[in-house]
Amino acid sequence: MTSKKITVWYQESPGLDTKGKPSTVLRPLVDVQVNYKHGQMIRLTALVDSGSDYNLFPADICRVLGINLTKGTLIRIKGIGDAPPIEAYRHFGIKIFFESLTIETFADFSSAHNQTILGQKGFFDQFQGIELRRPEEKIIFTSK
For residue 94, pLDDT beyond 70? yes
Please state whether beta strands 42-48 and 116-118 pair in parallel, antiparallel, or not at all (unpaired).
parallel
What global pTM score does this model have?
0.93
d(CA 17, CA 71): 41
pLDDT the model gives residue 6: 97
Q: pLDDT tens digit string along 52-69?
A: 999 999 999 999 999 999
**Residues 21-48: what's their mean pLDDT?**
95
pLDDT the model gives residue 80: 76
How many C-beta atoms surround the C-beta of residue 28 within 10 A?
Answer: 21
For residue 47, pLDDT beyond 80? yes
Q: What is the dotted CATH code of the domain comprising 40-143?
A: 2.40.70.10
